[in-house]
Structure 1
Amino acid sequence: MHDPPLDQPRVWLLAGTGDGPRLTRALLQRHCRVRVSVVTPAAAEAYRGLAVESMAIGALGGVEGIAEELKRQATLRWVVDATHPFATKISHDLAEVCFAAQQPLLRFERPWEEGHAATHLLENGADLSTMALSGQRLLLAVGGRHLAAIADSARLAGGDLFARAMPTRLGLRSALAAGLPPDHLAVVRPLEGATPGQLERALCRRWGITAVVCRQSGGMTERLWRRIAEEQSLTLLLLRRPPSPSGVDTVVGEAAFLKRIDHG
């Protein structure tokens, strides 16, 4: 395969596995040279077979690390922030560095999801402590990083708590910190090839779940929980998506993103 012409626009894409591979394919189809940054080796596997210019794996090291990385790179047309909607620190760090360097930064946001009448939008996890949750069997589907704090808030409101944790060091550490009884915790990864949502539906039935706490993150995960809540008549408690950093050029959805890339 021939190397791409050096005058092709260069893009540094920071993303995960949800949107990143799809956006990378679209950028490559537009003859961009794409450098991808992900956090883990497992996330990098989602980009296998894509002709990216380079792949960086691991934490960037805050503002200082991002600034050093930006200096090492040749002229970039765009830095694209397609990180998780709740990964607020990396988004704010990127904004600070790019503004200071006068580097064009584009924030990709997932479209907003709708549906399911029994949905309550919470400003943050602490709001759970003010709710009447006595007698409710809550599945905390919030990821490992914030599990313990959200469990504390829901416990104050009298909820009976359950959670699924990934069999990773962070997942196990977070599950233990949340203080859940062993029979209220499933440490399991979905089987490869399983129908999306199969494990989650089974856990809800097994534990007699009445309400699910998840994040308004958009994408497949939020859609899945909306669907399960509808099917099993569960209350859905959504943690509100944080706003993008002030002043950042933000687009919502792939169509708007590609239009901005094409005409920006």
Structure 2
Amino acid sequence: MTVWLIGGTQESAELARAIARADLPCIVTVTTESARLLYPRLIPRLQVWVGRLSAEKLENFLHTRNIRCILDASHPFAVEVSQMAVLAAIEFQVPYLRYERPTLKQSSGLEILNSEFPHPPIPPSPHP
């Protein structure tokens, strides 16, 4: 069983380490050579594949790598690869898991701590 980790983010690098600690084979895909640097070469049972996977190449990728689980930790704006992975998971009956980043809590206002803006700050609106 090999895990396909869709990576390129700091979170995916942490997940790669966790998968290695579980002694599972894993292949992480990234789109750039610079993203490859997130994954130390010393992580056991981890392969890094650099490039863009097309829908046409995906079936071969899943079969030749013996992918049995898809873990999507791609950037939230990497919609294309995520959609492609979901469709592949359905078609080939492979579990798909998506890592969701925690959302930031919205604050009720904006506070400027340091500004070199030449005008005085605008007072808060009396209307909420």
Match in the other structure for 1:84: 75
CA contact (8 A) 2:9 2:73 kept: no
Once the two structures are TM-superposed, the CA of residue 205 in structure 1 deviates from its matched residue by 5.0
Percent identity over paired residues: 28
Select 1:103's aligned residue among 83, 94, 103: 94
Aligned residue identity for 1:118: G
Q: How many aligned residue pairs are there?
A: 114
CA contact (8 A) 2:9 2:75 kept: no
Please tell me the root mean square deviation across aligned C-alpha atoms, in Å: 2.2
- Alignment TM-score, normalising by the size of structure 2: 0.78
Residues 115 and 69 (structure 1), Cα distance of their counterparts in 2 relative to 1, 3 Å cut: same
Match in the other structure for 1:19: 11
Residues 52 and 40 (structure 1), Cα distance of their counterparts in 2 relative to 1, 3 Å cut: farther
Select 2:64's aligned residue among 47, 64, 72: 72
Aligned residue identity for 1:42: S
Match in the other structure for 1:112: 103
Match in the other structure for 1:164: none
Distance 2:68 2:2 in 1: 6
Provide Cα deviations, 1:157-214, integer angstroms capped at 9, x if missing partner: xxxxxxxxxxxxxxxxxxxxxxxxxxxxxxxxxxxxxxxxxxxxxxx957x5xxxxxx
Gaps (5+ residues) in structure 1?
1-8, 120-203, 209-264
Distance 1:117 1:51 in 2: 46
Once the two structures are TM-superposed, the CA of residue 33 in structure 1 deviates from its matched residue by 1.0
Gaps (5+ residues) in structure 2?
118-128
Q: Which structure ranks higher in relative contact order (CA pairs < 8 Å, sequence separation ≥ 6)? A: 2
Between Structure 1 and Structure 2, the one with more helix by share is: 1
- Alignment TM-score, normalising by the size of structure 1: 0.40
CA contact (8 A) 2:71 2:96 kept: yes
